[in-house]
Amino acid sequence: MPRTPLIAGNWKMYTTPEDARDLARAIRDGAAGVEGVDILVCPPFTSLAAVAEELAGTPLALGAQNMYYEETGAFTGEISPLMLAALGVSSVLVGHSERRQHFGEKNETLNRKVKAALAHGLKPILCVGETLAEREAGASWKEVVRGQVRAGLEGLDAADLGPVAIAYEPVWAIGTGKTATPAAAQEAHAMIREALAETFGAQAAEERRILYGGSVKPDNVRELMAEVDVDGALVGGASLKAETFLPIIKFRA
Contacting residues toward ligand PEP, per CB under 6 A: 10, 12, 169, 174-175, 213-216, 234-238
Nearest to 158 by CA among 108, 208, 107, 122: 208
Closest approach of ligand PEP to the CB of residue 44, in Å: 13
Closest approach of ligand PEP to the CB of residue 25, in Å: 22
Is 70 assigned a catalytic role? no
CB 169 within 8 A of CB 213: yes
**Minimum CB distance to ligand PEP smaller for 81 or for 213:** 213
Closest approach of ligand PEP to the CB of residue 74, in Å: 31
CB 247 within 8 A of CB 39: no
Nearest to 106 by CA among 123, 75, 128, 125: 128
Query: Residue 233 to residues 2, 30, 118, 127, 140: CA-CA distances in angstroms?
Result: 16, 18, 21, 12, 25
**Minimum CB distance to ligand PEP smaller for 79 or for 216:** 216
**Minimum CB distance to ligand PEP smaller for 47 or for 215:** 215
CB 70 within 8 A of CB 80: yes
The residue from 96, 98, 189, 227 that is catalytic is 96
Closest approach of ligand PEP to the CB of residue 40, in Å: 12
**Minimum CB distance to ligand PEP smaller for 149 or for 235:** 235
Residue number of the CB closest to ligand PEP reads: 236
Residue 241 backbone dihedrals phi, psi, to 5 degrees? -135, 135
In angstroms, the first-to-last Cα distance of the chain is: 22
Is 169 assigned a catalytic role? yes
CB 174 within 8 A of CB 213: yes
The residue from 98, 105, 130, 169 that is catalytic is 169
